[in-house]
Chains A and B, each alone.
Chain A
Amino acid sequence: MTRAKRTSSVDTTIDENLKRAFDDVASEPLPSRFTDLLEQLKTEGAPKGSDQESDNNS
């Protein structure tokens, strides 16, 4: 076995550490800006000035 050869246990360790960090962020409570935005999208549609330029500004 050559020293430089990567083993699957090395890869597994990398993935496990990465996954832990990823899951930490993914499972955080959602900031209110997102829940608020979803509410707004449901009631009013997309915010003005995003993709559609001139919606009726009621």
Chain B
Amino acid sequence: MSDPRDELVEHLGPMRAFAMSLTRNSALADDMVQDALVKAWTNIDKFEPGTNMRAWLFTILRNTYYSHHRKARREVSDTDGELAASLAKKPDHDGRLQMRDFHTAFEKLPDEQREALVLVGAGGFSYEEAAETCGVAVGTIKSRVNRARARLVELMHLDEDQVLETTDAVTAGIVSANKSVA
């Protein structure tokens, strides 16, 4: 039987992305991942083999965040998160949402809505996995994701016409990116 600790390394990238979305500060995010990694390593006997390791790790990560790093984030006025940077640096015309607007809107979401949206919308978590990770009911996660999306739409003044344009441009962008690589 293999040691589940050998699998931890595979989840560190997504853990950093999740941490970044919670803190929006790269230094804090990595401190948080480091703490979570040590906790996971020391408590590996609490992990049930065959269950979802990523969900288990994200649970540890968010407990770490809510137990002390959230306080630290409030003391750091500058949110220089790489996720934010990654959102902000893209030019507006290359087929993505207006990135500055998206970033600004994303920042304004309450913690619990942001994490629900990140888990389900970006992290590939099912509603059930996200509910387990956040320790709430499935219905609560659905409603948080729903409210997060509604708020983003409202904050960015998105309407369907804009989105259709954007979607076309996204497709065009991806196609041309592929061509330039080939």
Contacts and interface: CB of A to CB of B under 8 A. Distances in A.
Interface in B88-145: 96-97, 99, 102, 106, 117-118, 121-123
B34 A34 contact: yes
B96 A14 contact: no
Given A10-B149, A25-B20, A33-B30, A47 B38 contact: yes
The prevalent SS among residues of A at the interface is helix
B117 A38 contact: no
B33 interface: yes
B42 A46 contact: yes
A10 to B, nearest CB: 5
Nearest to B43: A51
A17 interface: yes
A19 B83 CA distance: 11
A38 to B, nearest CB: 6
Nearest to A18: B122
B34 A46 contact: no
Interface in B7-51: 8-9, 12-14, 16-18, 20-21, 30, 33-34, 37-39, 41-42
- How many interface residues does chain A have, given as a range? 35 or more
Nearest to A1: B160
Interface string A1-26: 00100110111111111111111111
A11 B34 CA distance: 33
Contacts of B150: 6
A1 to B, nearest CB: 9
B55 interface: no
Contact of B121 (A9, A19, A52): A19
Interface of B: 5, 8-9, 12-14, 16-18, 20-21, 30, 33-34, 37-39, 41-42, 82-83, 86-87, 96-97, 99, 102, 106, 117-118, 121-123, 149-150, 152-153, 158-160, 163-164, 166-167, 170
26 contacts: A9-B160, A10-B149, A10-B158, A10-B163, A11-B149, A14-B149, A14-B152, A15-B122, A16-B170, A18-B106, A18-B117, A22-B123, A24-B83, A25-B16, A25-B17, A25-B20, A28-B13, A34-B12, A34-B33, A38-B9, A41-B5, A46-B38, A47-B38, A50-B39, A50-B42, A51-B42
